[in-house]
């Protein structure tokens, strides 16, 4: 089973609830949170679609954030809108990392695959 969130606020609220439950942070398998960027290339134009993906395994089920952030064109350093999207993705990633530290979870790269 998998629980999927599309906004960071809902994902972080779920993590907080799980870690404040009677089983506490130990409900999260191995105390590990996976966190990465996911890029999907458009096959027709030079665009990549950027999402932030985070996940944990709680009592055997995957709880995942997959938040779409926006489009990146070519090199983000050369395109203002792309820099804005990349900056927003970094803010989301930082919020997840901060909550993980608060909950004493080890942040590692990658995402879960079924």
For residue 12, what pLDDT is reported? 96
For residue 6, what pLDDT is reported? 97
Is 42 inside a domain boundary? yes
What is the CB neighbour count within 10 angstroms for residue 103? 19
For residue 77, what pLDDT is reported? 66
The candidate with the shortest Cα–Cα distance to 67, out of 95, 43, 46, is 95
Indicate the number of domains in the chain.
Answer: 1
Q: Which domain holds residue 28?
A: 2-105
Query: Whole-prediction pTM value?
Result: 0.89
- The series of mean pLDDT values per 10 residues for the chain, 114 residues long, is 95 90 73 95 88 94 96 78 93 97 94 84
Is 70 inside a domain boundary? yes
Dihedral over Cα of 94, 1, 114, 26: its sign: positive
The stretches of the chain forming alpha helices (DSSP H) are 8-20, 80-102
For residue 80, what pLDDT is reported? 87
Is 112 inside a domain boundary? no
For residue 59, what pLDDT is reported? 87
Is 114 inside a domain boundary? no
């Amino acid at each position: 089973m998998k629980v999927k969130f599309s906004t960071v606020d809902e994902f972080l609220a779920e993590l907080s609830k799980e870690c404040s439950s009677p089983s506490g942070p130990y409900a999260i398998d191995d105390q590990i949170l996976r966190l990465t960027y996911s890029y999907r290339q458009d096959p027709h134009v030079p665009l990549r679609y950027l999402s932030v993906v985070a996940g944990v395994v709680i009592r055997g089920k995957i709880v995942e954030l997959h938040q779409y952030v926006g489009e990146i064109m070519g090199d983000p350093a050369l395109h203002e809108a792309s820099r804005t999207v990349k900056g927003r993705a970094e803010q989301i990633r930082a919020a997840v990392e901060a909550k993980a530290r608060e909950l004493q979870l080890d942040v590692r790269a990658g995402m879960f695959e079924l």
